[in-house]
Chains A and B, each alone.
Chain A
Amino acid sequence: MQLSITREVLLKPLQQIIGAVERRQTMPALSNLLIRGGDQNLSITATDLEVELVASLDMEIEDHGATTIPARKLLDICRSLPDQAKIAINSSNEKIKVSSGRSRFTLATLPADDFPTIDDLELDQNVLIKEGEFKALIEKTAFAMAQQDVRYYLNGLLLELDAGQIRTVATDGHRLALSQLDHKSDIEGSRQIILPRKGVQELLRLLSNEENEITVSIGKNHLRVNLANLQFTSKLIDGRFPEYQRVLPEESDNRAKIDKVSLKQALARASILSNEKYKGIRLILDNNIMVIQAHNPEHEEAEDEIEIEYTGERLEVGFNVVYLLDVLNAIESDKVEVIIQDANSSALIVSPESQASRYVVMPMRL
């Protein structure tokens, strides 16, 4: 196989798919990219057996064929070549040559047949959705996913679809994020899948805020997203996601409307006194005032006060300040509404303009 390509044309897809290549693998082939040349098309595949990313480029190729090439080395070579450099790639049996101007590299290759591809793909449902809307759905909730929790089904994002809505839900057991979008489809009943954390992160890197429609295909064990020049496929987590509806708090009269930026700044100031282990802050809500207090094991103290719209009963509640800041970063409106029952029940945080995204944070006992 022989091909010639401009540095920038190759670099962008390489950067998009490199995330699927793990630095340590169980199989040597997984540190390589699969390169396949057809008539007018070049495809480059990266996989870690869980997530598979395929980039395709329209181009002329002499000698059809397939081979594999060390992923990080190819990327580093492309990165270090000068702008607009012409790169020639030549593969013979056991070696692959990459050259540009006076730079020449001979890289080891592995047979294309040894490269694992995701099989038993049984995609049975296609959903058309605007790329930007899909991205927003994921972005608004992904931060609340658990990380290496023994409850493996929490280490991912729940995607729930029915005929009228698409929802994403993430929770780590202490807080929960839920976002929904009205979207008509031909789905019967409701369908739940859990996309693993790594897949969520890679997908977010690939999605843009474009208005164009993309196809999301769902199967029993896989999810595939087809983008303009990229195909994303991920295995799904085989597990039951908790019944998230049960943890959404009940209505309460203790509702505070707060300017988001002021709250964020005050929390950021108070969190100066928190550390890795000690992230608790105390919120005191009383008669249009919110007092934010923080203290740490060294007996240092911080106190901040902001004006809010609040006429409910006096409340004193502790929270992990990181959880609150995560929520404020995910909400877009200028104001946020915080609805709290008492110091031992979960709090609901929403935008006053729309309840499409809802955030639940469990308090800390301080």
Chain B
Amino acid sequence: MQDIIHIDMDAFYAAVEQRDFPQYRNKPVVVGGDPDKRGVVATCSYEARKFGIHSAMPCARAMRLCPNAIFVRPRFELYRQISQQIRDVMFSYTDLVEPLSLDEAYLDVTQCKRSFGSPTLVAKAIKNDIKQVTGLTASAGISYNKFLAKIASDLDKPDGLTLITEKQGSEFVKQLSIGKFHGIGPATESKMQDLGIYTGADLLAWNLEELKSIFGKVSDYYYHAARGLDHRKVVSHRQRKSIGSEKTYNEDVGDIKEMLLRLENLAEEVWQDLSGKHMTARTVTVKVKFDNFVQVTRAVTLANDISKLGDITASLQDLLYKADVEGRRVRLLGVSVSKLTLLEQVDEEQLSLL
């Protein structure tokens, strides 16, 4: 059995801003895009959450909910630095750290570098260290797998510390509402509710074959999660699966040629990112969000690895048509590449003429 800790920083970006600007403390702070344009909330302080503001909400809406909120633009470079400090703390306890984002990570402390007697005490020590180094609070969930550790960290936020033991695990999952399962978003949630699955206990009544006929290959995860089981390992140095760029426009775009042009610009950014990382890819994906917020993606897997910008741009027109954009208006366009492989470091370099 493993000892897994899930660490989740409390309102990370907003907490950083409140730390650096004392005048923001105890006030609703929203970190995100420009409310006058189409920015969305990245994070908001707990004071702002009382007004119903949450992340991914359009800033304009947040402003209506709480006109007195302090809106600030994110300082990602700083957040990244702080995130690195936090990771350094974690790595001093174990090498098995799997960051999920700047403010969240799984740790496998089964083989902890320092002995504390229990994983709960390890989590407590990590939280203390993070507070010492960054001045910020984190919530920790401790359990015997990733699924439960993540749920546990959310139970007592902010500055929480929650343990779900092996004995409690399966009982705990039974009463858990299905939307709280990590990996079950609103769409799957409503699909499950249509089937009469509202809690872990309801899910427990379904066997694997029944689930598979409806949900496909993710069913394994649901089936085991309902039993409080999760066999996923904590993987440090998680490999990137895709590289992409997308943009929400100030005004919707209706002209196909213009869309193509914008996709080409995004493709150029993706290509620079890809080649800068000395990687190559096989699959090109175009993402389109229409003015009615319906989002579609269309992908093509190429016969050969991408070796130049043209390999990406050559597919864009086709994919755009496949997304059925004709006669419609879009608010967001995105390009990404996946099936990444690291290029063998070729130590030859073509010199440039111009």
Interface positions of A (Cβ within 8 A of B): 24, 26, 147-150, 171, 173-176, 242, 247, 276-278, 280, 297, 318, 320, 344, 346, 360, 362-366
Contact = CB atoms under 8 A, between A and B. Distances in A.
B226 to A, nearest CB: 47
Contacts of A346: 353
Nearest to B271: A150
14 contacts: A24-B321, A26-B257, A150-B309, A171-B354, A173-B354, A242-B354, A276-B304, A277-B305, A277-B344, A280-B348, A363-B351, A364-B350, A364-B351, A365-B348
A80 B262 CA distance: 42
Which of B268, B307, B352, B354 has the most chain A CB atoms inside 10 A of its CB? B354
Interface string B333-344: 000000000011
A303 to B, nearest CB: 17
Contacts of A26: 256-257
Interface in B285-310: 304-305, 307-310
Contacts of B257: 26
B346 A277 contact: yes
A321 to B, nearest CB: 11
Nearest to B318: A24
A357 B350 CA distance: 23
A297 B344 contact: yes
Which of B307, B346, B351, B353 has the most chain A CB atoms inside 10 A of its CB? B353
A252 to B, nearest CB: 17
A320 B346 CA distance: 13
Contacts of A365: 348-349, 351
Interface residues of B, number: 25
Main secondary structure of the interface of A (DSSP, over half): loop
Contacts of B344: 277, 297
A148 B348 contact: no
A294 to B, nearest CB: 11
A346 B321 CA distance: 43
A138 B304 CA distance: 30
Contacts of B268: 150
A171 B309 contact: no
A338 B94 CA distance: 61
Contacts of B348: 278, 280, 318, 364-366
A362 B352 contact: yes
A41 B350 CA distance: 54
B314 interface: yes
A180 B343 CA distance: 41
Nearest to B344: A297
A342 to B, nearest CB: 12
Contacts of A24: 317-318, 321
A60 B47 CA distance: 86
Contact of A276 (B307, B317, B353, B354): B307
A364 B353 CA distance: 11
A242 B354 CA distance: 8
Contacts of B304: 276
A131 to B, nearest CB: 32
